[in-house]
Amino acid sequence: MVSNLSKSESMPGCDDSGTGVAGACFHCGLALSPDLDFRLAIDGAERAMCCHGCLAVAQAIIAAGHENFYRVRTETAPTGRELIPDFIRESEIYDTAEIQRQYVHRLDAEICEASLILEGITCAACIWLIEQYLAGLRGVEQVRVNYATQRALVRWDDSRIRLSEILHSIRKIGYRAVPYDPNRQQELHRRQRGQQLRRLAVAGLFGMQVMMLSISLYAGAWSGMEQSFTFFFRWLSLGLTLPVMFYAAIPFFHSAWRDLAQRRVGMDVPVSIAILVAFASSCMATLTGDGEIYFDSIVMFVFFLSASRYFENMARQRCAGSVEKLVQSLPLTATRLQANGDREATVAAATLAIGDRVLIRPGETVPADGTLVSGFSALDESLLNGESNPLDKQPGDRLLGGSINVTNPLQMEVGAVGADTVMAEIQRSIERAQADKPPLALLADRVAARFISIVLLVVAGVAIFWWIEDAERWFDIALAVLIVSCPCALSLAMPTAISAMLGKMQACGLLVKRAAALEKLNHVTHVVFDKTGTLTLGKPVLSQVVSAAPYDSAECLGIAAAIEQHSAHPLARALVHAAGDIADRELSGVFSVAGGGLHARIDDVDYFIGNCEFITANSCAEIPGQWLESIDSDALSAVILACADEVMALFTFVDELREDAITTIESLCARGISVTLMSGDRAAATRQVALQTGIGNCRAGLTPQQKMEAVQDLQTAGAVVLMVGDGINDAPVLAGADVSIAAAGASSLARVNADIVLIADRLDGIDQVFHMADRTRRVIRQNMAWALFYNFGAIPVAAIGLVAPWLAAIGMSLSSLLVVINALRLTR
């Protein structure tokens, strides 16, 4: 349905669902193409869709009676643009016995269970949709989707439905699902999280009781209280503190002990000393019935510290989970050929050995490194080197595991497997870079360690002085100094601010994995952007159709799309997508030339579509000089359609910029940060993007190693570098940069190595990160200033004996409370 209808603007009632925007696809929210018109009646109004994919997805959702999804969702759904072509064969792999053994857990003869990783969940309505849709399938027994981890646990009857059909159904409504092996690591994480939560609960609940009792004790000390009640309350407080001490606070003691055993002084050492000394002296006071008790301070301290650690840990684990989510870069299975090349067998990719011959069909991922034996094809290596256009390969060329075969079937001889592959090498270089990273936490620990050593010395000095001066009061005063100087507020200053910030960031669609990165963000002087997939969407889009004199653009587009349906090349897909509905045409004699183009015969006319070389080689058509010029100067990817003796149309493509790329870069420049573009792509394409976004520095054609070196050069020149990237090729740089952000939809390796991950598919999160980092730093500074002022101000007063221990305890609690309240301002 190619029509020249004007943009389907102002759809009536489009805005009432909260996420439907006029001029944007009702399903996925992407901009509508002006030449396309897809409509579907949803919820009593005509809704515009951007493409076939979204239309199909929306139809599937409506057909199953789940219209409600559109009413309750808060975010637009993942786009259906790329879902349609190749999901069928891919998911059938999961029915093979080998794969089933790995992922499927058989409960009895027929009932199976598998965990699925879901991609594309944008809001809670998505989980509802997936659950309802799957539960409606024949044979599916139980579905449980976890929103936080974006996993689903599915139980089904194998005699009535196959795993591939379930995966297929999920694809049909616009999400991607991959079975995964819930390995030991994750189970460990889950148990650890539960353990932490239990400790936190115990500290909180018992803490509340202790606090309640101490308030009565404080009130009693003020207005008078019977001795027997004081005695009872004190013993009660002691009893209630025991679970906190011996259950909730164990991790602190554990880690302090580990630090001491390694002859280091970590943050947990002062914490443990404070808790233990306060507990011991309080126990003494309770036993003797004389002196102050500090049980309230202990429980509060333990509770706040555990809470901040729990939240930080949870954010980290959640991110680790989202990392495995993306489809594995290496395929699960490979098609192995016998030596003479005629028998094929599907085997698990891990069982391949050097010298094996494998068949790689178009659209498949290369399972290992090797040498091309027969066949000509183009391979997409963008995951490995960032090159956005597929590279042509011929027999004798090296193929890299993880690249995707685009055009023709290939036979490859396996040359390297497992740890010897380039993919594994990239992973190792990332690990090295991570190890090199100086952890900021160490510095904070060192400062605290020095502080606590000074405090201990001061306490000893004060104790000795008062022992000589006034032997009756020495313990009281020394204890008051120790309590007053207990670095509670000091050690709470950072973690509370950081956990408040983490929560706020998460609500804004930003996942902060390493909180320490936030501190560095304030000193960032350079931001380095990757191009493909970060500043741009990473997919070519048809930008212009120039038709030669007698031909009509729309007609040419129709013919081109009809032919290109037979190709999996990204440009071909962009053409097909741009054409929308393709009229049925009788095609015959379709053949493709790898790295060239396609030939087909429609109604007895021969058509050729491909790059310049292909057209000149195959048809007698002459390409107008103007076209050649525009292809060269714009450095865009272009395709020409020609019949036997003349050219018909020129199609040019651009990799579209993300909507907010320009504003994001403007705001970074406004902060006085210099922005650099580093890409593995060709110079011209890179320069084009740099011009559009207003980036002054750009470097093109860089390998991951060169990118890394460029960043290191900047760093040695004194710059603090923030790297924003998305691909596997960016992963080493992300790990090596001072701070790193992985763009939405980044590859799993990039996510592992980034400090911050953008969850929402927008770049303006970067600006938000800077803003939040700034606020967080201010709050941390205020907290630190207050804590230091309080500690250092109170120590001399306590040392001259003016502060009673109970007053010191109140002071300490109040100062901690102030710090916490100040930190909570960040959540607003």
Partner 1 sequence: MEIIYLLIPISLILLGLIVWILLWAVGDGQYDDLEGPAHRILMDEDRIVDDKSEQAKK
| Active site residues per annotation | 530
Query: What are the tokens at 669?
Result: 């420049």
Question: Which residue number, 201 or 617, has a Cβ lying nearer to partner 1?
Answer: 201
The answer to whether residues 579 and 671 touch, using CB atoms and an 8 Å cutoff, is: no
Question: Which residue number, 149 or 485, has a Cβ lying nearer to partner 1?
Answer: 149
State the residues that interact with partner 1 by CB under 8 A.
64-68, 72, 123-125, 127-128, 132, 135-138, 145-149, 190, 193-194, 197-198, 201-202, 205-206, 209, 226, 229, 232, 236
Three-class DSSP category at 398? strand
Question: Which residue number, 506 or 618, has a Cβ lying nearer to partner 1?
Answer: 506
Shortest Å, Cβ 77 to partner 1 = 15
Tokens 């196959």 map to which residue?
A: 162
Shortest Å, Cβ 139 to partner 1 = 9
Would residue 488 be called left, alpha or beta, if left means φ above 0 and alpha means ψ between -120 and 50 degrees? alpha
The answer to whether residues 806 and 292 touch, using CB atoms and an 8 Å cutoff, is: yes
In DSSP notation, 113-149 reads EEEEEEE---SHHHHHHHHHHHHTSTTEEEEEEETTT
Query: What are the tokens at 341?
Result: 């090349």
The answer to whether residues 805 and 475 touch, using CB atoms and an 8 Å cutoff, is: no
Closest CA to 561 of 542, 546, 548, 547: 542
Question: Which residue number, 99 or 307, has a Cβ lying nearer to partner 1?
Answer: 307
Shortest Å, Cβ 199 to partner 1 = 10
Question: Which residue number, 208 or 373, has a Cβ lying nearer to partner 1?
Answer: 208
The answer to whether residues 268 and 495 touch, using CB atoms and an 8 Å cutoff, is: no
Closest CA to 529 of 734, 322, 714, 703: 734
β pairing state of 410-416 and 637-643: unpaired
345: phi then psi, degrees, rounded to nearest 5: -145, 140
Shortest Å, Cβ 91 to partner 1 = 20
Q: How far apart are CA 9 and CA 349, in angstroms?
A: 49
Query: What are the tokens at 280?
Result: 């011991």
Question: Which residue number, 153 or 265, has a Cβ lying nearer to partner 1?
Answer: 153
Shortest Å, Cβ 318 to partner 1 = 11
β pairing state of 526-529 and 721-725: parallel
Shortest Å, Cβ 11 to partner 1 = 23
Query: What are the tokens at 499?
Result: 């956990």
Question: Which residue number, 177 or 202, has a Cβ lying nearer to partner 1?
Answer: 202
What's the sign of the alpha-carbon dihedral 724, 728, 730, 732?
A: positive
Residue 699: CB atoms within 10 Å:
16
Question: Which residue number, 67 or 552, has a Cβ lying nearer to partner 1?
Answer: 67
Question: Which residue number, 229 or 789, has a Cβ lying nearer to partner 1?
Answer: 229
Question: Which residue number, 236 or 673, has a Cβ lying nearer to partner 1?
Answer: 236
Question: Which residue number, 133 or 466, has a Cβ lying nearer to partner 1?
Answer: 133
Closest CA to 329 of 382, 252, 257, 402: 402
Shortest Å, Cβ 105 to partner 1 = 17
Q: What is the dihedral of CA 216, 220, 221, 223, to 10 degrees?
A: 140
Q: How far apart are CA 428 and CA 316, in angstroms?
A: 21
| Burial group, residue 672, by CB count within 10 angstroms (0-12, 13-18, 19+) | exposed
| Burial group, residue 793, by CB count within 10 angstroms (0-12, 13-18, 19+) | exposed
Shortest Å, Cβ 146 to partner 1 = 5
Shortest Å, Cβ 153 to partner 1 = 11
The answer to whether residues 775 and 758 touch, using CB atoms and an 8 Å cutoff, is: no
β pairing state of 605-610 and 637-643: antiparallel
- Find all residues with CB under 8 Å of 471, minimum gap 6, and list them: none
Shortest Å, Cβ 456 to partner 1 = 35
The answer to whether residues 642 and 667 touch, using CB atoms and an 8 Å cutoff, is: no
β pairing state of 398-399 and 410-416: unpaired
Shortest Å, Cβ 131 to partner 1 = 8
